């Protein structure tokens, strides 16, 4: 799907993540609830995650999206660091 066809929810979540993770080399947000905004899958590749355990990386994402999460049913988070 192209960036232009992103749902409003996907665009909003992407915007928040770009703001909170300025060093991210890749951010992908997909509404996996059929477009109603209840569940998202998020992939973030960022230097900010280096030296952190997976649970800490996910806590960072949850913290960044604390307001948005209130209206979500579920969230799948995938984090990684850029390959050297």
Q: Give per-residue pLDDT as tens, 58-68.
A: 999 999 999 99
Tell me which residue of 5, 14, 7 sits closest to 34, measured CA to CA: 7
Structural domains in the chain?
A: 8-80 (3.30.300.90)
- With cut-offs at 50, 70 and 90, classify the pLDDT of residue 77: very high
**Is residue 2's pLDDT more than 60?**
no
Q: Which one-letter DSSP state was computed for residue 14?
A: H
Q: pLDDT tens digits for 30-55? A: 999 987 889 999 999 999 999 999 99
Tokens of 8: 């409003």
Contact status, residue 7 vs residue 36, Cβ threshold 8 Å: no
pLDDT grade for 3, boundaries at 50, 70 and 90: very low
């Amino acid at each position: 799907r192209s960036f232009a066809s992103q749902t409003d929810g996907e665009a909003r979540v992407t915007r928040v993540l770009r703001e909170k993770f300025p060093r991210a080399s890749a951010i992908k947000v997909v509404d996996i609830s059929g477009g109603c905004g209840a569940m998202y899958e998020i992939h973030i590749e960022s230097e900010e995650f280096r030296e952190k355990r997976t649970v800490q990386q996910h806590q960072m994402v949850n913290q960044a999206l604390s307001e948005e999460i209130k209206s979500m049913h579920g969230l799948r988070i995938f984090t990684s660091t850029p390959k050297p």
